[in-house]
Structure 1
Amino acid sequence: MRNDICQSCGMPMAAAEHFGTNGDKSPNEDFCCFCFQNGKYTDDFSFDEFVKDSLQYHDEAEKLDGRTLTLDEVSLKTTVKLPGLKRWQSHQFTHLEYYKSVNKAVDYINDNLSRVINLSDLARVTGISDFHFHRIFKAVMNESPGDYIQRLRLEKAAFKLHTTRFSLADIAEQTGYQSPQALSKAFKKRYGITPSAYRIQPDDLTVGINSPVENLFLEPEITQIASKEVFYLRVGNPYKQSDAFLKSWDKLIGIVGVSGIPDRDHEYLLLSRDISTITSPQNCRIYTCINAESAIKPKGRLGRQTIEGGLYAVFTYRGAYKYMDKVYCNIYRYWIPKSEYELRDNMSFCKFLNSPVLVTESELLTEIYIPVSKI
Structure 2
Amino acid sequence: MPNPVSILAALNNKIPYQTPSFTNFKISPSPQRQSCAETIGTITDKCINILSMKDGIDFIEKMNSALDYIENHLDDDIDYTELAREAGCTEYHFSRMFSFITGHSLSLYIRRRRLSNAAIDLAADKPGILDIAVKYGYSSVDAFSRAFKDVHEILPSQVKKNPSTVKVYPRITFNLSITGGQEMRYRIVEKESFRIVGIKKHVDLVFHGINPEIAAMWESLTSEEIARWKNLSNTDPKGIISASTNFSEDRMTGKGSLDHYIGAATTSRIETDDNCLEVQAGLWAVFESLGKFPDTLQNIWGRIYSEWFPAVPYEVAPGPEILWNEQPDTSDPYFKSEIWIPIRFTSKR
How high is the TM-score relative to the length of structure 2? 0.42
How high is the TM-score relative to the length of structure 1? 0.40
